[in-house]
Amino acid sequence: GDTLVLNVHNKLDVATSLHSHGIYNNGTNYFDGPDMVTECGIPPGESFTYEINTTAQSGTFWIHGHTRHADVDGLRTPFIIHSNKPPEDYDEELLITLEDWFSQEFYARMEYVDNHKYDHDKLSVNYATGLLNGYNANRTAPIKFRPGKRYRLRVISMATNNWSVFRISGHKMTVIEADGVRSMPLEVDGLNLGPGQRNSVIVTALNSTDFNYAFEFISTSSTLNNESGEKPKIYQGVVEYREGAPIKDIPEQSNKEPVWPDDMALQAVDRQPWLPVDRTIDLPVTLYRDSLRATFWSLGKTLYQPTIVPTLYTAMSMGELASNKSVYAPQTNAYVLRHLEVVEFVISNPFINDHTFHMHGHDFQVTEAGPCGELVHGYTEIDYRKSGPWPIRRDTVQVRAFEYVRLRFRADNPGVWRFHCHIAPGHDYNGLAVILIEAPELLQKQQRIPDQMKEMCKMQGIPTAGNAAGNPGFDLTGLPPAITLTPSYH
Measure the CA–CA gap between 245 and 387, rounded to whole angstroms. 43
| Mean pLDDT taken over the chain | 92
pLDDT tens digits, one per residue of 417-475? 999 999 988 789 888 999 999 999 999 999 999 999 999 999 999 999 999 999 999 99
Digit-coded pLDDT (tens) for 261-298: 999 999 999 999 999 999 999 999 998 876 555 678 89
Q: What residues contact residue 99 under an 8 Å CB cut-off, 6+ apart?
A: 76, 130, 131, 132, 134, 158, 159
Separation of alpha carbons 473 and 466, rounded Å: 8
- Does 227 have pLDDT greater than 70? no
Res 378: pLDDT: 52
CA distances from 341 to 6, 56, 227 (A): 33, 21, 47
DSSP letters along 372-429, please? -TT--TT------EE--SSB-EESEEEE-TTEEEEEEEE--S-EEEEEEES-IIIIIT
Place 226 in a pLDDT band, splitting at 50, 70 and 90: low
Beta bridge partners of 60: 80
CB 118 within 8 A of CB 293: yes
pLDDT at res. 153: 98
Do 373 and 348 contact (CB within 8 A), yes or no? yes
Q: DSSP labels for 232-252?
A: SEEEEEEEESSTTPPBP----
**Could you please report the per-residue DSSP string of 112-171?**
HHHTT---TTT-GGGSPEEEETTEETTSSPPEE--TT-EEEEEEEE--SS-EEEEEETT-
* Predicted local confidence at residue 380, as pLDDT: 55
Mean pLDDT computed over 253-263: 86
* Number of Cβ within a 10 Å radius of residue 123: 15
Task: Name which of 305, 304, 307, 301 is nearest 327 in CA terms.
Answer: 307
Closest listed residue to residue 421, CA positions, set 439, 440, 443, 405: 405
Q: What is the pLDDT of residues 395-422, one digit of tens each?
A: 999 999 999 999 999 999 999 999 999 9
Average pLDDT over residues 130-142: 96
CA 50 from chain center: how many Å? 20
State the sign of the Cα–Cα–Cα–Cα dihedral 155, 158, 159, 163. Answer: positive
How many CA atoms lie within 13 Å of 39's alpha carbon, on the beta-carbon side?
29
Task: Using a pLDDT cut of 90, give the percent of the chain over it.
Answer: 78
Residue type, 353: N
Q: Residue 131: which of 106, 175, 166, 171 has the closest Cα?
A: 166
Q: pLDDT: is 301 or 202 the higher one? A: 202
**DSSP-assigned letters across all residues of 86-115:** -SS--SEEEEEEEEEE-SS-HHHHHHHHHT
What distance in Å separates the CA atoms of residue 273 and residue 252, rounded to the nearest whole number?
39
- What pLDDT, on a 0 to 100 scale, did the predictor assign at position 124? 57
- Of the pLDDT bands very low, low, confident and very high (cuts 50, 70, 90), residue 301 is confident
Beta bridge partners of 202: 152, 174
Average pLDDT over residues 362-390: 81
Q: What is the DSSP letter of 332?
A: G
Q: CA 292 to CA 117: how far, in whole Å?
A: 7
pLDDT in tens, 2-47: 899 999 999 999 999 999 999 999 999 999 999 999 999 999 999 9
As a dihedral over the C-alpha atoms of residue 371, residue 376, residue 378, residue 382, rounded to 10 degrees, the angle is: 10
**Best CA proximity match to 88, nearest among 231, 202, 256, 5:** 202
**Tens of pLDDT, residues 63-101:** 999 999 999 999 999 999 999 876 678 999 999 999 999
Q: What is the pLDDT of residue 432?
A: 94
Is residue 122 very low, low, confident or very high in pLDDT (cuts 50, 70, 90)?
very low
% of the chain surpassing 70 pLDDT: 90
In angstroms, the CA 473 to CA 444 distance is 17
138 φ, ψ to 5°?
A: -80, -10
